[in-house]
Chains A and B, each alone.
Chain A
């Protein structure tokens, strides 16, 4: 699955575009991310699926555009 990362999350992961295998839903995504990137532990972020914020555990389609979004700070 292709993932987009933004802001401090992209900085910690070291990429703004990367992929992970075998992700069923947003809970397993967060678990896998934490295993692979332990520094994410101290960071807040939300997950969006096809540009909509995912509320609660959300099933992920392999073709969906999934993004990791730290707290917004525009303006």
Chain B
């Protein structure tokens, strides 16, 4: 199954309203029996320069979208999904706000959950996106993914 490239980037935080609307849009797809949703939230880590107050995200957008398309195709080949949606923030996202939204839907829960988890892991590992943590004293620190 071939899926056309989609933009995944949104400027600033991903709002709970966007997530609610996205769930709502699926009520017409009555073959779905299970959704799995992952939400990444900006955490107030304590670093040497103080507390993190926000993360400023930048990306190599063209490469990220091409890679995301490849991941999407791999996931659809491996799991029987009805649909999958991915949104990632660019620019500043404050502590407590959402920066990543991954949403998979299938007939049954196991497929939706496994596909969602694999997508999240691959997004964090393979997409050329960088988070710069902004601290309360206005200094910055480049985030490391563990």
A interface residues with partner B (beta carbon < 8 Å): 4, 6-8, 11, 48, 51, 67, 69-75
Contact = CB atoms under 8 A, between A and B. Distances in A.
Interface residues of B, number: 28
Contacts, number: 68
A37 to B, nearest CB: 16
Given A4-B60, A51-B63, A73 B145 contact: yes
B26 interface: no
A51 B60 CA distance: 9
A67 B63 contact: yes
A73 B63 contact: no
A72 to B, nearest CB: 6
Contacts of B67: 51
Nearest to A73: B143
